[in-house]
């Protein structure tokens, strides 16, 4: 064995002798989550929070045993290269945290009845996220000299992060409201990448150069950059990135968009209808703007928020956009500018609503039960592997509504959280003769930007005058 490997082994062995109680505690908690039954959800949440605390404690403790901050550690005077020390710490954390985490998640998926390859894929996606977070915590620990100091910094950062995400006019909120819900992976992974690269740079400067002040400046700059990064992801940028990574088939798809103005209880609404799509396809309105064009050809953006569009037909081919008209509106023309995603069915399964587990091996499996109020049927489904872009369910009766389990996710397959594979769909209680439902998995086929002119009604709507 080379001197380099002997040094690495000695550092890891020394750290284990000092921190073995925390290592054993973390391993025990991972083992509990691996074999904890699904119905003990509250207990699982408690155990997972304990894992987070134990992991953070282990990360900070192992780094600060031989901290590069300050001049009081004896390893600084020994012939141990800083890069060797950093590598030893990262290997220790990989063995004591990442390996048990990977094993725990793999066992959980296997116990759910999925094949080994699906379990390994699900565990690897979760492990990647954990590694990114761990590198950031290692960077914080390397810049502080005590456990109390590290805890104070982490609490302060957590409060800043909560305020950053909760501010009504904050950058992240603007991103979430200004772009497609299904494309929020773009700014989220952009922020994650910035934080990871900044943390890695901090560690290299701190360990190799032993420049604590400079390293703290780099990490502080990274945090500032994380806070302003969402501003770089306007909806046009997000749409461009989403379109670039998506498998576009727009040249093979022909369909029509028809927008008609109609009177409603609120005064006026525009109904957008998508015609000509293949059977079973779903159009998803990701972002929509209403523009008025006056006689001089100048337009005014009236409604930039996409959250005002809602499905108005069971098959999802009609969308209603409600808005109020100002009495001073003198628009000669109105247009809808929208981002549209076309979803194609990838797999479906007919599920009997008899309380038993149905599906196919290695595919969708669902169990139906009435909810606590007795007014709805809860269809609890498990979808193996990388999660689809969209999951829907529909009672097998004419004109029944389509329901979904969660918002769409247009991220590439490898970035989707394969471990979060539970989908709870709330269906109306089956009517007479409705003894089954169809669950469908959709994939995003293409992302399009379109503009369509609104056909205005001839008469006014409750005092509002859409046309002069």
pTM: 0.77
Half-sphere exposure of 387 (CA within 13 A, CB side): 25
| 236 and 263 within one domain | no
In a domain, 85, yes or no: yes
- Name the strand (E) or helix (H) holding 8: helix 3-35
User: Are residue 151 and residue 188 in the same domain, yes or no?
Assistant: yes
Q: What distances in angstroms separate CA 366 from CA 108, 118, 180, 351, 363, one per listed residue? A: 18, 18, 29, 7, 10
For residues 439 and 351, the answer to whether their CB atoms sit within 8 Å is yes
Pairing of β 422-428 and β 403-404: unpaired
Residues 288 and 366 occupy one common structural domain: no
Cβ 369 vs Cβ 437: under 8 Å: no
405 and 278 inside one domain: no
pLDDT at site 408? 87
In a domain, 248, yes or no: no
Which domain CATH number covers 394? Answer: 2.60.40
Report the alpha-carbon distance of residue 96 to residue 259 in Å, rounded: 59
> Residue 56: inside a domain, yes or no?
yes
- Two tokens, residue 284: 């998803």
| H helical segments located in 112-253 | 116-142, 147-166, 171-178, 185-204, 212-228, 235-245
Assess contact for 436 and 126: CB atoms under 8 A.
no
**Residue 340: beta bridge partners?**
285, 448
Whether residue 250 lies inside any domain: the answer is: no
Tally of structural domains, the chain:
3
Tokens at 301, concatenated: 């953006």
Flag whether 460 is in a domain. no
Residue 303 lies in a domain: yes
Q: Is 463 within a domain?
A: no
Same domain for 97 and 164?
Answer: yes
Residues 121 and 215 in one domain: yes
Could you tell me the strand order of the sheet in which 357-359 lies? 357-359, 365-370, 376-382, 422-428
Based on the fold, state whether residues 263 and 360 are members of the same structural domain: no
Q: Are residues 196 and 124 in the same domain?
A: yes
Go through the chain and tell me how many residues it has.
468
| Same domain for 68 and 27 | yes
266 forms bridges with which residues in the sheet?
Answer: none
- The H or E element that residue 292 is part of is strand 282-293
Q: What is the 3-state secondary structure (H, E, C) of 409-466?
A: CCCCHHHCCCCCCEEEEEEECCCCCCCEEEEEEEEEEEEEEEEEEEECCCCCECCECC
Is the same domain home to 268 and 385?
A: no
| Residue 38 three-state SS | coil
- Of 243, 271, 298, the position where a domain reaches its end is 243
Q: Are 333 and 429 in a shared domain?
A: no
pLDDT in tens, the chain (468 residues): 788 898 899 999 999 999 999 999 999 999 999 888 766 778 888 998 999 999 999 999 999 888 887 665 555 556 788 888 899 999 999 999 999 999 998 888 788 777 787 778 778 877 887 888 899 999 999 888 888 888 888 888 777 777 666 655 555 555 555 456 788 888 888 888 999 999 999 999 988 877 889 999 999 999 888 888 877 887 788 888 888 887 665 556 778 888 877 766 655 677 788 888 888 888 888 877 777 665 555 545 544 444 445 555 555 677 776 654 444 445 556 777 788 888 888 888 888 888 888 887 667 888 888 777 767 888 888 887 778 888 988 888 877 788 888 888 888 877 776 667 788 888 877 655 578 888 999 988 888 888 888 877 665 555 444 444
Grouping H, G, I as helix, E, B as strand and the rest as coil, residue 269 is: strand
Phi, psi of 358 (to 5 degrees): -130, 160
Could you say which of 211, 243, 275 is where a domain stops? 243
Asked whether residue 161 falls in the same domain as residue 171, the answer is yes
Please indicate, yes or no, if residue 213 is contained in any of the structural domains: yes
Which range marks the domain in which residue 288 is found? 259-343+448-455
């Amino acid at each position: 064995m080379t001197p380099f490997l002997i040094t690495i082994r000695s550092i890891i062995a020394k750290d284990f002798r000092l921190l073995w109680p925390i290592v054993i505690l973390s391993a025990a908690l991972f083992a509990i989550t691996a074999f904890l039954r699904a119905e003990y959800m509250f207990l699982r949440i408690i155990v997972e929070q304990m894992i987070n605390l134990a992991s953070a404690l282990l990360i900070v403790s192992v780094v600060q045993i031989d901290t590069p901050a300050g001049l009081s550690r004896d390893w600084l005077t020994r012939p141990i290269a800083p890069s060797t020390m950093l590598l030893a710490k990262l290997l220790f954390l990989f063995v004591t945290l990442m390996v048990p985490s990977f094993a725990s998640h793999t066992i959980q998926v296997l116990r759910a009845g999925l094949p080994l390859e699906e379990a390994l894929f699900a565990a690897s996606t979760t492990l990647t996220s954990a590694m990114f977070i761990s590198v950031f915590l290692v960077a914080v620990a390397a810049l502080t000299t005590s456990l109390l100091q590290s805890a104070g910094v982490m609490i302060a950062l957590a409060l800043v992060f909560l305020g950053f995400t909760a501010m009504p006019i904050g950058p992240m909120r603007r991103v979430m409201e200004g772009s497609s819900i299904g494309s929020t992976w773009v700014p989220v992974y952009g922020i994650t990448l910035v934080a990871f690269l900044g943390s890695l740079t901090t560690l290299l400067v701190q360990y190799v150069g032993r420049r604590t002040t400079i390293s703290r400046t780099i990490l502080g700059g990274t945090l500032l950059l994380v806070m302003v990064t969402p501003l770089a992801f306007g909806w046009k940028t997000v749409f461009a990135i989403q379109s670039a990574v998506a498998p576009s088939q727009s040249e093979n798809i022909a369909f029509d968009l028809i927008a008609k103005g109609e009177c409603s209880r609120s005064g006026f609404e525009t109904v957008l209808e998508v015609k000509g799509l293949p059977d079973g396809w779903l159009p998803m309105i990701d972002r929509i703007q209403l523009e008025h064009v006056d006689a001089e050809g100048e337009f005014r953006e009236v409604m930039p928020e996409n959250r005002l569009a809602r499905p108005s037909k069971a098959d999802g081919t009609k969308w209603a956009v409600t808005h109020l008209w100002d009495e001073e509106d003198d628009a000669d023309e109105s247009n809808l500018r929208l981002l549209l995603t076309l979803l194609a069915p990838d797999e479906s399964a007919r599920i009997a609503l008899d309380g038993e587990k149905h599906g196919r091996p290695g595919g969708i499996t669902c169990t139906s039960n009435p909810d606590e109020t007795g007014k709805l049927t809860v269809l609890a489904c498990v979808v193996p592997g990388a999660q689809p872009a969209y999951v829907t369910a529909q009672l097998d009766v004419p004109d029944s509504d389509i329901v979904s389990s969660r918002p769409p996710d247009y991220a590439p397959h490898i970035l989707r959280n394969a471990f979060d594979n539970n989908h709870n769909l709330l269906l109306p209680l089956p009517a007479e003769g409705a003894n089954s439902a169809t669950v469908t998995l959709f994939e995003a086929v293409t992302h399009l930007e379109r503009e369509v002119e609104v056909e205005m009604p001839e008469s006014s709507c409750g005092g509002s005058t859409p046309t002069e």
